[in-house]
A and B are shown apart, each in its own frame.
Chain A
Amino acid sequence: MERTAPTTGRSALPEAAILDREGLDALIAALRGDGYAVIGPRLRDGAIVLDPVESADDLSWGLIDEQDGGRYRLVPGDAQTAFSHTVGPQSWKRHLYPPRQTLWTGRRDGRGFTVETPADPVPHHAFLGVRACDLAAMAVQDRVFGVAPHEGRSAGQERFTDSGYAARRAAAFIVAVNCGRAGGTCFCDSMGAGPKAAGGYDLALTELPGCGTPAFLAEAGSATGAALLARLPGHAAGPQDRAAADASVEQARAHMGRAMVPDAGPLLARNLEHPRWAEVAARCLSCANCTMVCPTCFCTTVEDTTDLSGDHVERWRRWDSCFTVDFSYIHGGAIRQSGLSRYRQWMTHKLSSWWEQFGTSGCTGCGRCITWCPVGIDITEEARAIHDSEGRG
């Protein structure tokens, strides 16, 4: 996928414009007209989820999410804003790497069998409202699924690509949203992943609050994005609009709910036998929520189904979690029997071993695992406890 920065100066296409509510509506309509299924943040069952949107009316206007360890609540905010909430329980991975997928189907043929791959058409999604942390998460999964190169351990070796992920990813149009408000469990700033999108989008919106009516600074991040922007009703953005957008993002940066201790990777790597693991394991329910909501967790398992005749089989792939005992099963017993070892696998993978594998952190600081943990276990607090104990040691 190519996302080129628009050339400044001579380009005939606008690289930035100010959109109002009508402009936002026109953006959604234009994407739909171009054949994209637009997915955006909308209210369902008391949470903001990533569902199809048909117009700007479907967005989550005037809603703010209060988030804390094990706690999520929507409250009214500025009715003129569509994006003053932050991230909800879902991440975009469910659209790029669906929770359940048919890998192939097989049919018995005499003493042999034949295999067919489903000829599913690739959905063309436009993702509207992708936050910086989730863009960073896509860049992380691009490395995992062989779509982008990396400097990890297996760099330079033969690279396998997940064709389904690659196709969905290449077909997606991305409208990022820079955050003007940080959530209670957000810590993207300390992970270097936000709150401003650094690239990897077609268009980026920054909500300009306090204008009395909805206003968005729209900036192009690719030629396709610039071409689309040129078709929208808006007016040219001036330096004062950019300054207002920057100030809004700085506001979010200044109010991060949480922060990760520096150098968490090496910290955990040298503390694999720390007493804190037993302590957190005593609280952890091994429910796997954190891995399901995490935008970078990629683990899956396979399931084989057979029809009654036994002649038709399907091989499915579905999301899995390192918190299950079966995950590490080998003949004779699971490698990670204890809750301690499974919690340690999760947290060291996110913050430490991911670096070795892919040359990047596996955590972007989105805060979902903290919010959606039923007992409110907080990855930043766990890392800090180990960090502080070293200071004392």
Chain B
Amino acid sequence: MDSALLPPTTIASADPMVPRPFRIVRRLREVDGCFTLVLESQDGRPYVFRPGQFNMLYVFGVGEVAISVSGDCRDPGGLVHTVREVGTVTRAMAALRPGDSIGVRGPFGHPWPIEEAYGQDVLFVTGTIGLAPLRPLILEVLNRREHFGKVVLCYGSRGTHDILYEGQLHQWRGRFDMQVHVTVHSAPAGYRGRVGSVANLVKIARFDPEQTTAYVCRSETMTRPAVQALYERGVTADRIYVTLERNMKCGVGFCGHCQMGGSFMCKDGPVYRYDTIEHVFSVREL
């Protein structure tokens, strides 16, 4: 700080607010209104993430939104995101094609804990596009299959046409070491699958409630009934993990938008152990 010592500093560029350009190498159509992008780093630096983490994806000239990583954390081949078109940025993203670039900042957020469930049965409860943020965790649990007891997936969608990753669900269903239960909310006459709520799947799934870790990835309103169904089976709040969503402008704890009481969802979440945030569900507009 002394006269002669004043350094000719400029503001550092390795800033977490600055995106890295990634190239879209593949674009997959998913169920109606959803698409998957497979991205490849353009700067040669590798991209490493843990299941449950998210990126801030930037569409040139349009804006930036939080999107979970949906691929396999052991597959260095590409960064996978599944997105639902809902508004300005996600619609612009839907128009991008292989060869186009997208900005990536991340990974951010607290991942799903995995080691905590070693030795236990594992239950995934999700619906519609909620399967996308959960997929890296399911893949990783299967990668480390020997550490777990039963592995159960309960998935629900609105109709028979919006079952996300249907091919992958079939493949998982074919495994002898995994139970996959799928239900739809409503189905045309003659549909041979299960019709009803995800909570009903939790009721029939086979797992040991005393020895189970449950991962719930649903919208905020759908999380409660799912947790209720788990309680009824005897799974306690300290073994249930859920995710939440808030507006995010930075992903690193600076912008304040994602606050929920004493936590920043971008760094303390989006994954939470249910007993640590249960109160949020009882206070309106927190």
Contacts and interface: CB of A to CB of B under 8 A. Distances in A.
A106 B60 CA distance: 8
Interface in B10-65: 10-21, 23, 42, 60-64
A354 to B, nearest CB: 8
Contacts of A356: 261-263
Interface majority SS on A: helix, strand, loop or mixed?
mixed
A124 B6 CA distance: 8
Interface stretch (B144-152, B205-213, B241-249): B241-249
A35 interface: yes
Given A167-B9, A357-B263, A300 B255 contact: yes
A224 B1 CA distance: 7
Given A160-B16, A167-B12, A331-B87, A202 B256 contact: no
Nearest to B13: A117
Contacts of B16: 160
Contact of A353 (B7, B23, B255, B261): B261
A60 B91 CA distance: 55
Contacts of A212: none
A387 interface: no
A359 B257 CA distance: 20
Given A115-B103, A356-B261, A304 B11 contact: no
B242 to A, nearest CB: 16
Interface string A276-303: 0000000000000000000000111110
B3 interface: yes
Given A145-B254, A167-B12, A115 B61 contact: no
A342 to B, nearest CB: 8
A328 B246 contact: yes
B61 A310 contact: yes
A251 interface: no
Contacts of B87: 331
A61 interface: no
A190 interface: no
B285 A34 contact: no
B254 A144 contact: yes
A163 B254 contact: no
B256 A299 contact: yes
Contacts of B60: 106, 108, 113, 313
B1 A341 contact: no
Interface majority SS on B: helix, strand, loop or mixed?
loop
B15 A153 contact: no
Contact of A162 (B42, B246, B254): B254
Interface string A141-172: 00011100000011001001011101100010
B42 A121 contact: no
Nearest to B97: A111
Given A160-B252, A272-B283, A301-B249, A121 B8 contact: yes
Contacts of A160: 16, 252-254
Given A272-B286, A300-B249, A327-B257, A167 B11 contact: yes
B15 A163 contact: yes
A241 interface: no
Interface in A104-118: 104, 106, 108, 111-115, 117-118
Contacts of B252: 160
Interface stretch (A40-48, A181-189, A332-340, A363-371): A332-340
Contacts of B63: 302, 304
B132 to A, nearest CB: 15
B49 to A, nearest CB: 13
Contacts of A327: 247, 257
A166 B10 CA distance: 11
Contact of B284 (A111, A224, A302, A341): A341
A114 B21 contact: yes
A140 B262 CA distance: 15
A264 to B, nearest CB: 15
Contacts of A349: 259
B10 A302 contact: no
Nearest to A126: B1
B225 interface: no
Contacts of A317: 17, 255
A191 interface: no
Contact of A345 (B13, B64, B259): B259
22 contacts: A106-B103, A111-B100, A112-B21, A112-B23, A112-B42, A117-B13, A119-B11, A122-B10, A153-B268, A163-B11, A163-B14, A224-B1, A299-B256, A301-B257, A302-B63, A302-B64, A313-B61, A320-B255, A328-B247, A345-B286, A349-B259, A356-B263
Query: Which 6 residue pairs across A and B have the least CB separation, nearest first?
Result: A356-B262, A299-B256, A341-B285, A112-B101, A34-B3, A353-B262
Interface of A: 33-35, 103-104, 106, 108, 111-115, 117-122, 124, 144-146, 153-154, 157, 160, 162-164, 166-167, 171, 173, 202, 222, 224, 227, 272-273, 298-302, 304, 306, 310, 313, 317, 320, 322, 327-331, 335-338, 340-341, 345, 348-349, 352-353, 355-357
Given A300-B249, A300-B256, A330-B245, 11 more contacts: A33-B3, A34-B6, A35-B6, A106-B61, A115-B103, A164-B15, A171-B7, A272-B283, A273-B283, A320-B255, A327-B247
